[in-house]
Structure 1
Amino acid sequence: MRERPPIVLIPSYNTGPIVFETVATARRHWTAVWVVVDGSTDGTAEGLDELARGDAGLRVLILPQNSGKGAAVLYGLECAAAEGITHVLTMDADGQHPADLIPAFMAASAEHPHCMILGKPVFDASAPLLRVRGRRLSNWWANLETLWMGIGDSLFGFRVYPVAPLIDIMRKQRWMRRFDFDPEAVVRLAWRGVRPINRDAPVRYLSAEQGGSSHFNYWRDNVLLTWMHVRLFLGFLLRLPWMLWMRARSQ
């Protein structure tokens, strides 16, 4: 099957009207945008489906029940792979990610097709201080677990993935289905030899008045992240002799 151009993939769950702005902005900057509606109950599935009828560049995939961000991304990846698409840029539906950087990230991916292009967030005054400081711990663990391969930010979901290795990893890992999908994906891809390339990307946090929405739960999601890093650290210890040998060989 002939290789097709990459797509923008947007998982969405009950984000409200902001998803329409996110999709419209993404479409202004890229020709093919797919949205995976992850069991939303806020009416956005119907609205997106209506938009797609009048826009050949927009595809809407609807999951009947909420399964988690990782599960939604995996479904989109599998649909993309079935059509010969080899690279996917993921971005959140809540308006935080910079759609105007889509072409630059796609160009970087085309230049380095065997790498993952990771957004490194540049925060402004709207960013919650607790979230900014808290992610530093996850980033430290992700870099330890990869022997400092160079992961600039493990949590920021604006990134380009090579599709085939990520699908293979996710099919073998039953845990990679929820909020903690993003950091586990970059660590396991790094273990597979997929090198990270970091690019700065401004992030904005919208207020409720601006249409912002968040499903982040401080306690629940930090428990998920902690359990994820426990699993990854155990995997890291098992791989450590091989990783050290490979590091020595490359020097």
Structure 2
Amino acid sequence: MANTLIIVPTFNEIDGLERIVTRIREAVPAADLLVVDDSSPDGTGELADRLAEADPGMRVLHRAGKNGLGQAYLAGFELALGEGYEFIVEMDADGSHDPESVPAMLALAESGAELVIGSRWVDGGSVVNWPAIRKAISRTGNWYSGVMLRSRIRDITAGFRVFRASALRDLDLHAISSQGYCFQVEMAWRLERTGHRVVEYPITFVERETGQSKMHSGIVVEALLRVTAWGIEATLRPRKSMSMSRSGARSR
């Protein structure tokens, strides 16, 4: 897994950062780790620097100001592609994504999947400690995205992912401007639409125990507007669809 880079974006995650770094190191010790910090005022970036000093496989990318999740990941992608990593992992810093799922997700990517999504909404997937309204927003967002984009991905808003670097190189990453849920939707949809193999792997998503959620109404509105626009674009200018595989106990 030395050809793997795990990207963890942070903003005010000082309470949980050391814990998630430890869990990642235990689950995938051979992978490299990149923390992308958006100048967190609570000292997250400084803590990340201290952790990196003791870990030769970890480094920190400091960005000036809070520029959003999508831009943080794109900065990480640029570094990963420039340094020749083969697999690139997206993970939240709040502990909601279990690092113990990473080896199985990487195995799927090594077997030919170009995007592996840690999915809450396929058989075997689940969510822990979410209120009913949060579940409803997620399910509705995924359903609407599927209808508008004609996507077969069940959890297209999910943020726990493994990309093949070759698939990212096929995209015009400079044209990606979405944030939050919408960034995840756009990345998965563009890969699916251009014929790349997408696999969903069931995970248990656990709501954060520390820190504050970055979810807000603006993210939902952005996703609604952009997904609607992309759906209209796809209808007017259809492109080849891809055969998509889902994985739990099997692929199809």
Whether these two folds match at TM > 0.5 is: yes
1:129, distance to aligned residue in structure 2 (A): 1.2
1:84 matched to which residue of 2? 84
Residue 237, structure 1, aligned to residue 235, structure 2: yes
Match of 1:189 among 188, 191, 195: 191
Residue 141, structure 1, aligned to residue 140, structure 2: no
Q: What pairs with 1:143-222 in structure 2 (closer than 5 Å)?
A: 143-148=146-151, 150-166=152-168, 168-173=171-176, 175-206=177-208, 210-217=209-216, 219-222=217-220
Aligned alpha-carbon RMSD (Å): 2.1
Residue 106, structure 1, aligned to residue 109, structure 2: no
1:141, distance to aligned residue in structure 2 (A): 3.0
Identify the range of structure 1 (67-76 vs 129-138) with the bigger mean alpha-carbon deviation: 129-138
Stretches of structure 2 that go unaligned for 5 or more consecutive residues are 244-252
- Does the 8 Å contact 1:34/1:59 carry over to 2? yes
CA offset digits 1:103-154 (Å, max 9, x no partner): 11111110114x2101111334511211111122221233234534x31201
- Does the 8 Å contact 2:149/2:231 carry over to 1? no
Structure having the higher helix fraction is: 1
Amino acid of the structure 2 residue aligned with 1:87: F
How much identity, in percent, do the aligned residues show? Answer: 27
1:239, distance to aligned residue in structure 2 (A): 3.1
Amino acid of the structure 1 residue aligned with 2:223: L
TM-score (norm 2): 0.86
The structure-2 alpha-carbon separation of the partners of 1:41 and 1:197, relative to structure 1 and needing over 3 Å to count, comes to: same
- Does the 8 Å contact 2:194/2:240 carry over to 1? no
Q: Which runs of 4 or more aligned residues in structure 1 lie more than 4 Å from their structure 2 counterparts after TM superposition?
A: none
- For 1:186 and 1:104, how far apart are their aligned partners in 2? 19
- Does the 8 Å contact 2:12/2:211 carry over to 1? no
Amino acid of the structure 2 residue aligned with 1:9: I
Stretches of structure 1 that go unaligned for 5 or more consecutive residues are none
- For 1:179 and 1:43, how far apart are their aligned partners in 2? 26
- Does the 8 Å contact 2:5/2:89 carry over to 1? yes
- For 1:94 and 1:66, how far apart are their aligned partners in 2? 17
- Does the 8 Å contact 1:37/1:60 carry over to 2? yes
1:10, distance to aligned residue in structure 2 (A): 0.8
CA offset digits 1:30-59 (Å, max 9, x no partner): 221111112211101001101101101211
CA offset digits 1:63-104 (Å, max 9, x no partner): 121110010000001001111113211011111011111111
2:22 matched to which residue of 1? 24
- For 1:16 and 1:50, how far apart are their aligned partners in 2? 12
2:62 matched to which residue of 1? 62
- Does the 8 Å contact 1:12/1:40 carry over to 2? yes
Query: 3-state SS of the aligned residue for 2:41?
Result: coil
